């Protein structure tokens, strides 16, 4: 075990999901105390059980909550800070997707995705900020997407929320520098999570079909493993990134460089 996050008190939203649970495991392995926060209680329980079974000394607990409403996000951050005796790191990772052409997007689906991806991220940042300001070395890592930076068809609502998260990252970095809180963002490219595997299996796709999706999409010609996104999140959360704020870090296998 190394100790790149030794003593850090961390909340990871979307901690029951693919990237969030991988970040949770890595954070624990690096000495952090971790609260996984997620809407999905079963996914949370599975993520925490897996982390503890791999790393019996892991200091991980869970909070089942939605980040959509400010009151709920505020209660969850307060509970996490009470439990850990403060808060040093917030990873804003929870997110949902919509697979719709913009001309077919409904007001309800816009409200839905903006509520989670954009307002949920803003709610958690606002609720966590008093605790992060009290930390000597507070840090937020937002999880955006390569498609917050480059364009494509079919997921315009999602991509718009991710571009907004990039913008919010820069603004918060400006506003919080004087309070000692760094705010950065990781933009993953296609990352093969259980969510994607289930979606592709439902569509009857085999591994060759899945591999083919990324064959020409990135310079590295493959999907990312969840750990390959968790490591940049870890680094931005750690003191190794102490002079880094307002950065949008591409973790996309070179997709945005094409
Ligand atoms: N997997 C990829 O290819 C990829 C690529 C680029 C960006 N991302 C981003 O990375 C993040 C994690 O992605 P993932 O692939 O692990 O997704 P995932 O779907 O496996 O996990 C997302 C988690 O967020 C939780 N969540 C959803 N709504 C919530 C709410 N209202 N309150 C609290 N929790 C809620 C879900 O229950 C889920 O556990 C997301 O923000 C996603 O947009 C993923």
For 66-81, the pLDDT digits (tens) are 999 999 999 999 999 9
Confidence of residue 193 (pLDDT cuts 50, 70, 90): very high
pLDDT exceeds cutoff 80 at 167: yes
80 in any annotated domain? yes
Q: Would you state the structure tokens that stand for residue 16, as one six-digit string? A: 């029951």
Q: Which of 14, 93, 194, 195 for a ligand 1 pocket mutation test, highest count of atoms within 8 Å of Cβ?
A: 14
Which residue range forms the structural domain that includes residue 32?
9-189+224-250
Cβ < 6 A, ligand 1 pocket: 13-14, 16-20, 38-40, 43, 66-68, 93-96, 116, 120, 143, 145, 188, 190-191, 193, 195
Whichever domain contains 161, its CATH number is 3.40.50.720
Ligand 1 center–CA 54 separation, angstroms: 22
Give the mean model confidence (pLDDT) for residues 248-253: 98
pLDDT digits (tens, 9 = 90+) for 30-88: 999 999 999 999 999 999 999 999 999 999 999 999 999 999 999 999 999 999 999 99
Ligand 1 center–CA 17 separation, angstroms: 6
| Catalytic residue set | 158
Q: Which residues pair with 143 in a beta bridge?
A: 186
pLDDT exceeds cutoff 80 at 1: no
| Residue written as token pair 């052409």 | 101
Q: How far apart are the first and last CA of the chain?
A: 37
Ligand 1 center–CA 33 separation, angstroms: 21
Tell me how far the alpha carbon of residue 255 is from its chain's centroid. 19
Per the structure, the count of domains in the chain is 1
pTM: 0.98
195 in any annotated domain? no
76 in any annotated domain? yes
133 in any annotated domain? yes
213 in any annotated domain? no
198 in any annotated domain? no
77 close to 87: Cβ distance less than 8 angstroms: yes
Atom of ligand 1 nearest to the CA of 20: 16
Give the mean model confidence (pLDDT) for residues 149-157: 97
Q: Would you state the structure tokens that stand for residue 174, as one six-digit string? A: 């400006």
pLDDT digits (tens, 9 = 90+) for 111-121: 999 999 999 99
202 in any annotated domain? no
120 in any annotated domain? yes
């Amino acid at each position: 075990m190394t100790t790149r996050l030794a003593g850090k008190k961390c909340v990871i939203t979307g901690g029951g999901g693919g990237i969030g649970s991988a970040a949770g495991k890595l954070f624990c392995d690096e000495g952090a105390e971790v609260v996984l926060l997620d809407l999905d209680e079963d996914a949370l329980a599975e993520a925490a059980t897996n982390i503890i079974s791999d790393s019996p000394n892991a200091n991980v607990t869970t909070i089942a909550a939605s980040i959509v409403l400010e009151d709920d996000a505020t209660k969850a951050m307060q509970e996490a800070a009470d439990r850990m005796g403060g808060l040093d790191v917030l990873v804003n990772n929870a997110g949902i997707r919509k697979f719709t052409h913009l001309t077919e997007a409904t007001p309800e689906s816009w409200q839905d995705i903006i509520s989670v991806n954009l307002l949920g991220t803003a709610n958690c940042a606002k609720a966590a900020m008093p605790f992060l300001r009290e930390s000597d070395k507070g840090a937020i890592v937002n999880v955006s997407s390569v498609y917050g930076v480059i364009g494509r068809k079919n997921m315009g609502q999602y991509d718009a929320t991710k571009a907004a998260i990039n913008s919010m990252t820069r603004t918060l970095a400006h506003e919080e520098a004087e309070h000692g809180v760094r705010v950065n963002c990781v933009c993953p490219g296609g990352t093969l999570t259980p969510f994607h595997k289930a979606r592709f299996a439902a569509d009857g796709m085999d591994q060759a079909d899945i591999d083919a999706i990324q064959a020409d999409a990135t310079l590295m010609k493959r999907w990312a493993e969840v750990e390959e996104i968790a490591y940049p999140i870890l680094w931005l959360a750690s003191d190794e990134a102490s002079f880094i704020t307002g950065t949008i870090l591409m973790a996309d296998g070179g997709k945005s460089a094409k």
